[in-house]
Structures are given as structure tokens and as C-alpha cells.
Amino acid sequence: MRIAYFDCFSGASGDMCLAALVSAGWPSEALIALPARLRLEGVTITVGEARRGPFVATRVEVRAEGRQPHRHLRHVAAMIEAAELDAGVKAQALTVFERLADAEAEVHGSTREQVHFHEVGAVDALVDVVGTLEGLRSLGVAEVYASPLRLGRGAVRSEHGLIPVPAPATTLLLRGVPVEMPDIEAELVTPTGAALLTTLVRHWSGEPAFRLERVGTGAGGRDLKEQPNVLRVLIGEADPALPGIRQVAVLETALDDDNPQFVAALLPRLLEQGARDAMVVPTIMKKGRPGMWLVVVAEPRDAAALALTVMRETSTLGVRTRLERRYEVERRTAEVETPFGRIALRIATLPGGEERAAPEFESVRAAAERAGRPLREVSEAAVAAWKRGAA
């Protein structure tokens, strides 16, 4: 399976996505021919090079003759439907514009049907959205991944006057997405870029292991003094022989004046709130005092809520957090029938396709208590039943 990983070092916009894909090998001729397929008259596309910091990157510009009209979602949908495009591209493009319409409607207290697209409904947005989808399809990309999005600060001028950065619609589109806030006075992520990536990307916590084949570098419209204004896309084949890698949050705090019973009771609560793992390690702290080292592993989006729980439920004055990348094997859950009842198992698929089963302890304990049998006997019966079914 071929994947694309967008390295959003300097944010993302629609034209940067286009340029990165052209740089990665999508023929520029296909992009230049896109306005005709969209039945856009008086629209031309130029593809060239631009220097951004130390990089020479591909730059794409869309030019339209005359003033373009404001469009409603129904107008954009009709244009997409009438275009000479793959059915999958049409469906994804419509989804992108529906997300844009919903965000603008929420900002203005309106509905998606009433929203005028203004800047995002202009021909450049149509080309950006459809072109990015066409480029990914042409390059054979099946799944899209991206790094956390770096947002800028300050303000930009729009048809509504001066608005803050990130733009209101952009912030709404990025709910649930990992972001960073560097101290850069510029709009690094545009509404079109946000709508595109949040529609395409299913995994924000790290790319899977893959064999890199192509690298594309797209230039943004302005040169930043703080960093190169470029978007990179890395394209390659996911390697089934390698474990996947993704990002997790690690929370830590040291406790030397807490009741161990209270800390022990906290662990299941953290797991109920979404922690992937939680543990307490005995340690020696300053002045030789015995203490407890509490470690929690979680999804990045859950880190703040879990840290708050730790601070409320323990005597700690602070929780350290960091993002780490970890290799993971694919896993799924299953149930098997045993002489002691149904037992839940966790099935891990190792690199190379080999599978390994581990009974879920709570399921084993419940069955063992019902049957009055040892835990080990019930666990071994569950594994044996799974092996018979897998044979």
C-alpha cells in the first residue's frame, strides 16, 4: 500500500499541497489541464520554482481573468459533479467543501446552504482541492498521514476586515487535530489546507514504517524570515515486514508524600479515562526518601485531561509530559468458546504475518471464578481454543 506523509513544518495551504505533489512526480501538464476539466474559463496555472530560505521548491500559481463570483455550496457541488473527474475524487472534493461550508457557517451563525464561500470559493480553491486529490490518485496514494500542524499568529486581512490568525474557520476545522503554535507572525495554515488535510488524514500520531520512494517540496506564497515556508510530502510503500510507528504522550510525576493506597486506586481510573497504560514504580527520591514514580502512556489528545486527573487525585504539584514515538504491532480483539465459557483475547499480528494471542485477564478471572478453576487453567484453555480455530 502506498502512503503519503505530509511534513507540515511550515503549515499547509492548498497551493503548497499542489506544488509538493508536482515536485514528487505528478506531471505538471496534468495540473495545467485541470481548469479545462473543471470547465473554468479564463483560468491559467503556472508551475515554476521559488527559493524559500535554503530550499528551491516548486511553486504553483492559479490566475483567473476578471472578478470571480461568490459561490454557494450548491454551485461548487454542481461544478464538481459536472467535471471530468474520477468518482472518488468528486466525492472527496465535495466532502472538503462541505467541511469548509460548515466551518464558515459556524463562524457566521449561518447554515452551509447560505454561506458565500468568498475567498475559499474562488477558482484557486477549486483547483487546489481537486488538484490535490487528483495528484494523490495519480501517484497511487491509498492513505494519507501528516505531522502536527504548525499554526501562525497575528492577523490577516480578509473581506470581513482584519481577522486573527489562525483564521476562525481554520480553528474550527482543526478541532481534534494536534497543532503547534510557533511564534511566527503569518498565516501558516489556510482554511483550504486545513479542510484538505483533515478530510484526508486518518492518522495524526505518526506515519507507519514505509520505504521512501519520492520526496516533493512545495513553496508557499511568501518567504518567512523565521523558517523556510515549504511543505514536504514523502511518498512510499508501507512495509508489512516492519512494525508501525506512531506518537504517544508520556506523563510522569514523582510522589513522596502520598498514600500508596490512593495512588493504586488512581490507576484504574486513568485507564477508564483513556490512558493506554499506567504504572507506579518504587523509587528513592531526594534526602533518601522512598517514593513512587507514576507513569502514564496516552493518546496525545488525552494528555491534558489525564494530567489534570493526576493533579487532582495526588499530592503532586506538576506533571511532566512529552511526546514519544513508539513501534506498534497491529492488534484486534476476539472471543473463543472454552469449557469455562467465552473468553476475550487480544490478537497481535507480528511483522511477517505471524499472530500471537493473549487472553484478557479480567475475562479469564471472571470465568475462573464462575468455574472455580485456577486462572492458569482457564487462560491456557482460551489460547488452545484460539489455536484450534486458527489452524
> HEC string of 321-371?
EEEEEEEECEEEEEEEEECCEEEEEEEEECCCCCEEEEECHHHHHHHHHHH
Answer whether 60's CB lies under 8 Å from 46's CB.
yes
Task: Give me the mean pLDDT over the 327-340 stretch.
Answer: 87
pLDDT score of 279 more than 70: yes
Tell me which of 3.30.360.10, 3.10.20.300, 3.40.50.1000, 3.20.20.70 is the CATH number of domain 330-390.
3.10.20.300
pLDDT computed for residue 120 by the predictor = 44
Mean pLDDT of the chain: 88
Q: What's phi and psi for 191, nearest 5 deg?
A: -55, -40
pLDDT computed for residue 181 by the predictor = 87
pLDDT computed for residue 246 by the predictor = 75
Between CA 275 and CA 83 the distance in angstroms is 46
Domain spanning 245-328, CATH architecture: 2-Layer Sandwich (3.30)
Domains 245-328 and 330-390 share a fold: no
Answer whether 43's CB lies under 8 Å from 222's CB.
no
193-228: pLDDT as tens digits: 999 999 999 777 566 678 899 999 999 988 888 899
51-94: pLDDT as tens digits: 998 889 999 999 888 776 677 888 888 889 998 888 899 999 99
C-alpha cell at 28: 505538471
Q: Is the peptide bond before 148 cis (omega within 30 degrees of 0)?
A: no
Task: Give me the mean pLDDT over the 332-344 stretch.
Answer: 92
Question: 376: pLDDT confidence band, cut at 50, 70 and 90?
Answer: very high
Share of the chain above pLDDT 90, in %: 58
C-alpha cell at 346: 487480544
pLDDT score of 242 more than 80: no
Domain ranges, ordered by start, for the chain: 2-242, 245-328, 330-390
- Supply the pTM of this predicted model: 0.68
